[in-house]
A and B are shown apart, each in its own frame.
Chain A
């Protein structure tokens, strides 16, 4: 295959990389004043990358001698990633404008673009090298973004914690990669699958465990979740919204690719790990969130909880299960971004962001529309039927039951009712408590309100209208792996 054809398949990453470099130059000469231009240009670049997916990059096959795979699965994940990244770019100016301390600098959208390129590599990885380099590109950008507010001690702490623990996780992952390479003699997923299929040695098993541990850290599944609440609380809110959406999709997408493509024959081995991580995440995410008083910490535990549900679909190990995970992720991204957009609206009279759950008290009387939107996101995250979040949970549990994992599905459903408690508590605070001082309205124009409205429409019962499309698309994406 010639070079141009290879590049055509990796076009989304090429567009993102070149776009990021060009915007970096614009911001270097334009200074902080160019933030607005660079932000919108970054959204345009993300849109361009999504357009590039319609070409050979959407269904082309293997590029660069088996390093990179462009298929329906990667297309599905990349579209989610690009949407979430674009929303993270768009929600930032309003937040930084009114927060005293650091201004938004044009490097913010540039780093998000580079991170998106890394995430694209992760979900398209067909080789352990692509996996690792993509993961590092995403993680390094994320470390910087977490401490983007330099004058804020909590933000710096979040960045440092994330960096140190992330480096440790990368080390664990690399150790696993080296073991798998040593015992299989190849870094390519199809070659590794052959070796796992031919019978497995202790070394291969150790490699599998370490690789899953490293990926579990990146998707913040229990027991590798410790960093999540602290980092989510300390990082600037738009960055937290980003962490909870796009990198989560990328990490789970990567996990699915490794599990199915590279280690598919070792299903029985990794299924135990995935089942444990799923149940532990659901239970811990539900129980630990109950005592939280900070809305960002609450949403951090909520994201841990949701990763658990998504992993139930992976534990099934069937195309239906993977399709369920993809459906889950699509709906989860809408719910999470919506919740964080509402959190961004929480500002006291001085325009400073507030994060306590108590300050939401009586929001139904002061900001009825916002309260209604938040209530919808909370009900949807809890998986209460008329809303679209229910369908997400239904899809993964359905796949688990069809794969014969009845106990897993039963425990998962039971634990989801524990999780419902704290989501409903937020709704109760907004609707039944005495009003706290009202949040001031921002002056960033109709953009944020519009984004909240879009997210609310997606999670509303109207979302069920997309099921034929979403279902067909996700099953096509999942079948690309098997």
Chain B
């Protein structure tokens, strides 16, 4: 009973905030609605017992992706009113895309009944009593460790690539030299003077 109430609550808020993400006039509000949608989707994941995915949604999507969106939206100088001006003009194309997507969903459902989705051939069964966070960790660090490490290399390539393509030596900028700052002694940097009255200081 309480589960059903929670489900309908989360599901309703996800759909509502999804719709408001598209409909709200202010792009910053859109991102805020999106974050709410992510939170509620995480709630749905907890309900189906996938607590790891729920945590991922909150940490990765809310914590990183949505905040990044927010920064981008606030930093870019985009006239959203102008972007929306073509809505009526492109309504036809948009509708066509929507019909195509709807057809794909239908076909996918049809395919579901046509072939059989067969998950009996599991290559990496886990103990059903094991909590799913532990199960994912066990598989990731034992059976799939080779792929896991390779994925790490993919990220390394992305990092090297970003630096190779964008980093340049800036001439003329003055960097902080901590060692030099620490090595500086008061007697090198300051001077005690006792100026006579009425004559000012000789610098």
Contact = CB atoms under 8 A, between A and B. Distances in A.
B157 A121 contact: no
B170 to A, nearest CB: 15
B176 to A, nearest CB: 20
Interface in A93-150: 105, 107, 110-111, 114, 117-118, 121, 129-130, 133-134, 136-137, 140-141, 143-144, 147-148, 150
Interface in B112-135: 114-124
B18 to A, nearest CB: 23
B150 A137 contact: yes
A185 interface: yes
B119 A144 contact: no
Given A201-B114, A202-B111, A188 B157 contact: no
A421 B115 CA distance: 49
A10 B149 CA distance: 12
B153 A111 contact: no
A161 to B, nearest CB: 15
B123 A147 contact: no
Contact of A186 (B115, B116, B123, B144): B123
Contacts of B119: 185
B115 A204 contact: yes
A64 interface: yes
Given A144-B161, A147-B165, A185-B122, A130 B147 contact: yes
A66 interface: yes
Nearest to A159: B165
A24 B147 CA distance: 21
Contact of B115 (A148, A183, A187): A183
Contacts of A206: 111
A10 B146 contact: yes
B115 A141 contact: no
A17 interface: yes
9 contacts: A63-B146, A66-B123, A67-B143, A105-B164, A140-B154, A184-B121, A185-B117, A185-B118, A203-B111
Interface of B: 111, 114-124, 143-147, 149-151, 153-154, 156-158, 160-161, 163-165
Instruction: Return the 4 tightest CB-CB contacts between A and B, nearest first.
Output: A201-B115, A144-B161, A185-B121, A203-B115
